[in-house]
Amino acid sequence: MNHYATKKNAAQSMLDVALVMANCSQLKRVLHSGPQHRFYIPLIALISMSISLQIIVGLLVYTCVLKYDLNDVKKQPRLNTMNDAATIFVFFTVLINIFITAFGFESGRNSI
């Protein structure tokens, strides 16, 4: 079970890194477009929140995988809580990214 959980968390971390990079790219485009876009401030705020949540999830996954032994029965309640928190943060990250897509640029050279 420990091997499976480690692989699962490693895959989740790689997906998190890919999403962080995509959000950084979006933030760069928004910042380069300038404040003339009507959703400039909301996009910056949402992308920043998404990146922050992704960093928190990454730290939680890192802590679960490398700092604790998943087979130690005494640590399992704490690990379950951390895993639940990571899942909740991922859910909110998905919701935030839906709003980022909705507020994004519609067309033109600055499309996200």
pLDDT, position 5: 67
The band of 77, judged by pLDDT with boundaries at 50, 70 and 90, is confident
Q: DSSP characters for 67-81?
A: IS-TT-GGGHHHHHH
pLDDT mean across residues, the chain: 82
**Measured between alpha carbons, how far is 70 from 56 in angstroms, rounded to an integer?**
20
Using a 10 angstrom Cβ sphere, with 0-12 exposed, 13-18 middle and 19 or more buried, the burial of residue 57 is buried
The band of 106, judged by pLDDT with boundaries at 50, 70 and 90, is low
**Radius of gyration, alpha carbons of the chain:** 17
The candidate with the shortest Cα–Cα distance to 100, out of 37, 21, 36, 44, is: 44
pLDDT, position 107: 43
pLDDT in tens, 18-52: 888 989 998 998 888 888 878 899 999 999 999 99
Q: Domain limits of the chain?
A: 2-103
